[in-house]
Amino acid sequence: MNDKEIQLLNELAGKLGTTSEYLWGILVKQAPIDGIMAIIVFTSVVILTTIWTKVVYKKTVVTSEWRSEGMVLFSWISMWIMLVTTFLLFINIPNAIVGIINPEYWALKFIFSNLRG
């Protein structure tokens, strides 16, 4: 880390009433946990989206079991919402991988993103 990064970390630690070394250690330990949790959430949403998409397709197109317009509209809109959510979670996967492989870099990105805004 360069001097500016160390100064920002010290300022953050001062605001939290702790030392920068302690804060850094916690962030480095937290990085793999956040990465693994993000991957678990993404995988779960992909599985649920896949199941729901198959159900919606079968019930509305193949068997026409859900015949009312309200049910068809609800099912297709909910399916698209799940697909968009899956895409948005997919965008975070590189950050999750960085947290697992390189926790120090993840911690730096986390500190800078929180200090900026």
Q: How far apart are CA 15 and CA 95, in angstroms?
A: 26
Contact 88, 37 (CB under 8 A): no
| Share of residues in the chain with pLDDT > 70 (%) | 94
Q: Is residue 42 part of a domain?
A: yes
* pLDDT per residue as tens, the chain (117 positions): 567 767 777 777 787 777 778 878 888 999 999 999 999 999 999 999 999 888 888 888 888 777 777 888 888 898 899 999 999 999 989 999 999 999 999 988 887 787 665
Residue 5: its pLDDT value, please? Answer: 67
Q: Is residue 107 part of a domain?
A: no
Q: Is 68 left (phi over 0), alpha (psi -120 to 50) or beta?
A: beta
Q: Is residue 105 part of a domain?
A: no
Residue 99: its pLDDT value, please? Answer: 92
Number of domains, the chain = 1
Q: Is residue 66 part of a domain?
A: yes
H or E element in which residue 93 lies: helix 93-101
Residue 117: its pLDDT value, please? Answer: 56
Which residue range(s) make up the domain with 28? 18-98
pLDDT tens-digit series, residues 52-79 = 888 888 888 888 777 777 888 888 898 8
Q: Is residue 109 part of a domain?
A: no
Q: Is residue 53 part of a domain?
A: yes
Q: Is residue 69 part of a domain?
A: yes
